[in-house]
C-alpha cells in the first residue's frame, strides 16, 4: 500500500472511524444481514505503518452489540450520544483530529479516515495542509466523490479480502460495478503515461502519478493482485522492462504498436470476463461439469427441500465423490456461489427456526418461484452472469459468443452450443435497461 514514495516502516498512523456512517452505508448496499469485518479494516491501517491512535465514534448505547469486536482489536470507543444530532460524531472526530495536530500526537504522519461522509472534506484539506497523508476508506457507491478526491488515497472496503458469503441487495450490483470500471482505470493510466511520454520511468512513479489524478485508484479495485499485473493486462498501452537496479520501468507505446497489441486473444478475453465476475465476488473456473452440478442441485431440492446452501454443497460433494470424482469440490463450491449471486434462492426468514447467530448460508432455502425445471435454473444463472459482463463491456450484444460458451460450459461443443449462447444473449438484449 504505497500512498507515498516512502517505505512504511517509520509511518505513525491514527485511525478515526465514523462508525454509524460506515456500518449503515455497508448495509444499505449489501443488505441488512451484512457484518463488517473490522479486522480487515485494521489490517489496512497496519499496512500504512505503526498504529498509534485507533478510535471509533458512535452512540454505543445503540451499537452495544458490536463493541466486543472493536475492543478486541484495541479500538478506543468514543461515545457520542445520538441525541445531540446526526453530526455529533462528525464534530467530535474533527475536534480530535485537529487537536492531534498541536497535541502530544503531532508527530503522526498518516491518518486513516474510515467514512464516506463528504462533510469531512474540509478536515482532509486541513490535515494535508499540515503535512499529513490522509487515506480514506469507505463503501463503494456510498462515498462522496469530493471526499474521495480530497484524500491522498481512497480505499473501497469492497476490495478488501472479506467474507464472500455476505448477501447483496438485488439491483445494487450494476451501480456498484460502475465504480470499478476498468475503462476508467485505462484512461487514468493513459493520462499518467502521457505525462512521461517518450521516456522510460519507474512503475512506482506511474502509480504515484495515477493516484494524483484519481486518489481512489487501486489495482485491487479491478481484482489485480499487484500493479505489475495491472500493467501486464494492458499491453496495448504500455511496454515494460526490468531496469539495472531490478525495479520495473514502463514506456508509453506508440500508436502503431498500441493498435497491433490491442486485439485480445480468446484466452485473454476469457480472463477479462472472469475478472469482471470476480469484481462481483463471483468466482468461476470454466468447466464442463457446471450444468451437471446445477441439475443435480435442482433434483436434491425437489426431493428434499429442507436444505441450507452449506448442506447442499456437502450433499453435492458426497454425491459426486462417489459417482463422478472428476467433479472437484471447487467446481461445486463455485457453482453454488454463482446461483446465490444470481438470486436463484429465497431464504427462510423465520428466525424462530434458528439460533440467534445463524449465518445466512445455514438458513433453509427454496428456489425462486418461477423456476420449475432444472434447465430454467441453469438459464437464470447464465443470464445473471452474462448480464454482469454485458454491463461492463457496454452491452450484452458486445459479448463474444465463443468466449461466453467457454466461460459457462468449459468448451465449445458444436454449433448448437453457440446457438444456445446466442439465445441467452438475445433474451437479455430484449430486456429494457433500468
Provide the CATH number for the domain around residue 298: 1.20.120.1790
Residues 41, 169: one domain?
Answer: yes
Q: How far is CA 288 from the centre of its chain?
A: 27
Q: Is the pLDDT of residue 82 over 90?
A: no
Integer CA distances (angstroms), 255 to 43, 190, 197, 199, 342, in order = 42, 12, 12, 15, 40
Total tally of structural domains belonging to the chain: 3
Whether 5 is covered by a domain: the verdict is no
Any idea how long the chain is? Answer: 434
The confidence band for 170, taking pLDDT boundaries of 50, 70 and 90, is very low
20 vs 77: CA distance, rounded Å? 12
Q: List 250's β-bridge partners, or say none.
A: 201, 240
Whether 191 is covered by a domain: the verdict is yes
Residues 72, 209: one domain?
Answer: no
Integer CA distances (angstroms), 274 to 30, 102, 262, 265, 405, in order = 22, 50, 19, 14, 13
Last residue of a domain, one of 134, 152, 173: 173
Helices vs strands, H then E, count in the chain = 18, 12
205 vs 31: CA distance, rounded Å? 39
Residues 233, 366: one domain?
Answer: no
211 vs 152: CA distance, rounded Å? 7
Whether 273 is covered by a domain: the verdict is no
Q: Specify the higher pLDDT residue, 159 or 260.
A: 159
The confidence band for 168, taking pLDDT boundaries of 50, 70 and 90, is very low
In this predicted model, what pLDDT tens digit does every residue of 91-122 receive, in sequence order? 999 999 999 998 788 889 999 999 999 999 99
Last residue of a domain, one of 173, 206, 228: 173
Q: Is the pLDDT of residue 264 over 50?
A: no
Residues 317, 207: one domain?
Answer: no
Residues 205, 147: one domain?
Answer: no
Which grid coordinates belong to 219? 489495482
Whether 330 is covered by a domain: the verdict is yes
61 vs 1: CA distance, rounded Å? 35
Residues 351, 321: one domain?
Answer: yes
Residues 146, 18: one domain?
Answer: yes
Which grid coordinates belong to 99? 487537536
Whether 270 is covered by a domain: the verdict is no
| Domain region containing 367 | 290-429
- DSSP, collapsed to helix, strand or coil, labels residue 327 as coil
Last residue of a domain, one of 173, 195, 220: 173
Residues 162, 191: one domain?
Answer: no
Q: Is the pLDDT of residue 425 over 70?
A: yes
Residues 168, 211: one domain?
Answer: no
CATH code of the domain containing 94: 3.40.50.1010
Residues 158, 189: one domain?
Answer: no
Which grid coordinates belong to 143? 462515498
Whether 401 is covered by a domain: the verdict is yes
Residues 425, 371: one domain?
Answer: yes
Residue 273, burial from CB neighbour count under 10 angstroms (0-12, 13-18, 19+): buried
Whether 39 is covered by a domain: the verdict is yes
Which grid coordinates belong to 434? 433500468
According to the model, what pLDDT value does residue 388 have? Answer: 94
Integer CA distances (angstroms), 287 to 118, 229, 277, 349, in order = 45, 25, 16, 34
According to the model, what pLDDT value does residue 161 have? Answer: 55
In this predicted model, what pLDDT tens digit does every residue of 42-67 receive, in sequence order? 989 998 999 999 999 999 988 888 88
Radius of gyration of the chain from its Cα atoms, rounded to whole angstroms: 24
pTM over the 0.85 mark: no
Residues 23, 159: one domain?
Answer: yes
CATH code of the domain containing 240: 3.30.420.610
Whether 311 is covered by a domain: the verdict is yes
427 vs 39: CA distance, rounded Å? 43
Amino acid at each position: 500500500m504505497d500512498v507515498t514514495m516512502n517505505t512504511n516502516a517509520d509511518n505513525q498512523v491514527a485511525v478515526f472511524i465514523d462508525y454509524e456512517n460506515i456500518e449503515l452505508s455497508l448495509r444499505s448496499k449489501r443488505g441488512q444481514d451484512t457484518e463488517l469485518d473490522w479486522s480487515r479494516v485494521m489490517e489496512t491501517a497496519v499496512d500504512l505503518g505503526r498504529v498509534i491512535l485507533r478510535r471509533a465514534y458512535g452512540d454505543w448505547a445503540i451499537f452495544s452489540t458490536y463493541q466486543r469486536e472493536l475492543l478486541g482489536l484495541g479500538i478506543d470507543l468514543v461515545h457520542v450520544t445520538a441525541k445531540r444530532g446526526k453530526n455529533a460524531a462528525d464534530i467530535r472526530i474533527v475536534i480530535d483530529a485537529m487537536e492531534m495536530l498541536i497535541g502530544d500526537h503531532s508527530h503522526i504522519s498518516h491518518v486513516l479516515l474510515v467514512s464516506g461522509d463528504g462533510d469531512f472534506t474540509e478536515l482532509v484539506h486541513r490535515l494535508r495542509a499540515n503535512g499529513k497523508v490522509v487515506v480514506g476508506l469507505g463503501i463503494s457507491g456510498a462515498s462522496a466523490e469530493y471526499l474521495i478526491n480530497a484524500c491522498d488515497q481512497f480505499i473501497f472496503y469492497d476490495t478488501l479480502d472479506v467474507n464472500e458469503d455476505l448477501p447483496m441487495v438485488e439491483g445494487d450490483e450494476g451501480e456498484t460495478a460502475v465504480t470499478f470500471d476498468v475503462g476508467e482505470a485505462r484512461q487514468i493510466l493513459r493520462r499518467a503515461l502521457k505525462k512521461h511520454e517518450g521516456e522510460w520511468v519507474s512503475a512506482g512513479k506511474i502509480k504515484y502519478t495515477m493516484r494524483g489524478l484519481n486518489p481512489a485508484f487501486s489495482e485491487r479495485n479491478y481484482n489485480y493482485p499487484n500493479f505489475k499485473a495491472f500493467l501486464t493486462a494492458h499491453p496495448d498501452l504500455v511496454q515494460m522492462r526490468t531496469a539495472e537496479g531490478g525495479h520495473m520501468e514502463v514506456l508509453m507505446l506508440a500508436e502503431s504498436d498500441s493498435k497491433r497489441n490491442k486485439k485480445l486473444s480468446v484466452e485473454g478475453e476469457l480472463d477479462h470476463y472472469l475478472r469482471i465476475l470476480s469484481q462481483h465476488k463471483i468466482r468461476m473456473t470454466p468447466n464442463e461439469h457446471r450444468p451437471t452440478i446445477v441439475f443435480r442441485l435442482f433434483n436434491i431440492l425437489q426431493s428434499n427441500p429442507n436444505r441450507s446452501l452449506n448442506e447442499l454443497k456437502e450433499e453435492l460433494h458426497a454425491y459426486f465423490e462417489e459417482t463422478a470424482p472428476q467433479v472437484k469440490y471447487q467446481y461445486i463450491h463455485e457453482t453454488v456461489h454463482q446461483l446465490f449471486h444470481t438470486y436463484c434462492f429465497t431464504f427462510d426468514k423465520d428466525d424462530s427456526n434458528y439460533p440467534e447467530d445463524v449465518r445466512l448460508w445455514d438458513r433453509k432455502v427454496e428456489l425462486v418461484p418461477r423456476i420449475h425445471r432444472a434447465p430454467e435454473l441453469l438459464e437464470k444463472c447464465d443470464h445473471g452472469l452474462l448480464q454482469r459482463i454485458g454491463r461492463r463491456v457496454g452491452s450484452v450484444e458486445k459479448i463474444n459468443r465463443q468466449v461466453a460458451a467457454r466461460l459457462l460450459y468449459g468448451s465449445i461443443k458444436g454449433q448448437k452450443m453457440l446457438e444456445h449462447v446466442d439465445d441467452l444473449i438475445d433474451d437479455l438484449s430484449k430486456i429494457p435497461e433500468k
